[in-house]
Amino acid sequence: MRGGRSRRPCKAGGVIRPPRPDIQTVGIIGTGAMGRGIAQIAAQAGLTVNLYDANPQAVEAARQYLQDTLDKLAAKGRISPDDASATLARVKPCGKLEDLAGCDAVVEAIVERLDVKRDLVAKLEAIVQPDAIIASNTSSLSITAIAVGAKHPGRIAGYHFFNPVPLMKVVEVIDGLSGDGAVGDALMELSRRMGHTPVRCKDMPGFIVNHAGRGMNIEGLKVAQEGVAEYADIDDIMREQAGFRMGPFELMDLTGLDVSHPVMESIYSQFYQEPRYRPSPIAALRSVGGLVGRKAGAGFYSYPDGRKTRPTPAAPAPAARPKSVWVSRACEHGHTLVTNLLSKLGTTPETGTLPSADALIVVTPLGLDATSCALQEGLDATRTVAVDTLLPFEATKRRTIMTTPATTATDRDAAHGLFASDGVPVTVIRDSAGFVGQRVICSIVNIASDIAQQRIATPSDIDLAVNLGLGYPKGPLALGDAIGPQRILECLRNLERLTGDMSYRPSPWLWRRAGLGLSLLWD
């Protein structure tokens, strides 16, 4: 953490006992997907793993699962058969909690209930040595709260892995208010030994990854709730225009609304109704209706036989081209991008101060809607369409245009035909402040900026955690730098002014660095 952390030793019966720097034996409590995964990477790293579950049959099932997994890795040539056998031999099944007495560190991966975790900590403190670390793999509970009532709260830390553990190479190390910095240091080193990339953060709701992930899903749901575009269209835009691996609705179907919606509600509640994290009634209603995603066979998409199907897309617009095109200069950056694109598409836009009587009118708002642009510039709304220019066209595989409520079908189709004439797909959306991509991207960058502003983690750790934990094309702060902090700020201020929604208010971290011309990664 910034400026380093004091290495305050733990006290055991009046004797100073710092945490063990060289961890050799790890106890793991809980044999679900997370517990099995942590056991696998620890054993593969040469550590002895004492594996315990309240259900003895679950321990044997987990060890069998590990054997099958290691055998598959050996069959694929990723490890040798000898390594597979040696790794499994290091996983010791335990029949009772007392079998963890000799562990240097114990990681619990049990049910997400505060009372159950506190009870487990109390039992462990009566069993393990005073210098043994007790770590929680919680994804949603406060580490400080888990440590309340412990005899030695300094040795309790958060150690949040992601599923599947062997493939998701990031782990969050969380310092509680009463935590000893040396304990976090030891877990950071243990993570590297197990082949994972650790990121350090303080104890706040959602830590880094679940906190930063609010922008994608919550804003995507808000766009859909406003009737701007269909679920599949929003996903297409975020994948092919914005460059994300999945759109918000594909992601929520994969995670399951039974998991993701409670997280949305929890973080919103823990931040005392912060508008940036406001959940959606769409998610609540679909959760109640059982449309939770892929595992239920139906979510935002249908999954017959486990394969995603999407609604049949609307017939493409006819390949019409307008007789003439006029591009607004209200946003000079957008005017330049669109004019250059039109040149490549074989169209030279009009150069007059105002459009001719028959011209298709193109505006390029940042954070505004097409209607506002038409009204502010005194343009004919029936011929006006807006084009999203937040990202350069050459960097995208899809383009987005939006209409005013008054835009004629003829002008809409002419714009569609023109901007898709080189084979790049175009999504036509209804009028929206900030299109789709602008809203989601700017929300992601703004939330990450506020995580940095709150000193929850360093800017570099925020980007590293999100890049590895969520698979974004760039870390959110680096993404903001690539687009330009000033442009992100302009979008957010226009969104806030137009909608009156406080969720778009820019973080001080963002507006200060935008004003000073600094990188969002500048600490």
**Which residues, in sequence order, are CB contacts of 273 under 8 Å at separation 6+?**
none
Burial of 488 (0-12, 13-18, 19+ CB in 10 A): buried
Bridge partners (DSSP) of residue 201 are: 174
With residue 495 as reference, give the H or E element that holds it: helix 485-499
Query: How far is it, in rounded angstroms, from Cα 155 to Cα 175?
Result: 10
Answer for the pair 499, 433: CB distance below 8 angstroms, yes or no: yes
* Amino acid code (one letter) for 111: V
**Which residues, in sequence order, are CB contacts of 347 under 8 Å at separation 6+?**
321, 325, 418
Strands 133-136 and 197-202: unpaired
Answer for the pair 380, 357: CB distance below 8 angstroms, yes or no: no
Where would I find the H helices in 289-359?
A: 332-344
DSSP secondary structure letter of residue 343: H
* Amino acid code (one letter) for 270: Q
Residue 241: name the closest of 438, 486, 480 by CA.
438
Answer for the pair 30, 108: CB distance below 8 angstroms, yes or no: yes
Q: Tell me the two tokens of residue 430.
A: 């209804």
Catalytic residue ranges: 139, 160, 172, 210
Residue 237: name the closest of 495, 405, 424 by CA.
424
Total Cβ atoms within 10 A of residue 353 = 7
Q: What is the DSSP string of 42-91?
A: HHHTT-EEEEE-SSHHHHHHHHHHHHHHHHHHHHTTSS-HHHHHHHHHTE
Quick one: angle between helices 214-225 and 437-453, nearest 10? 140
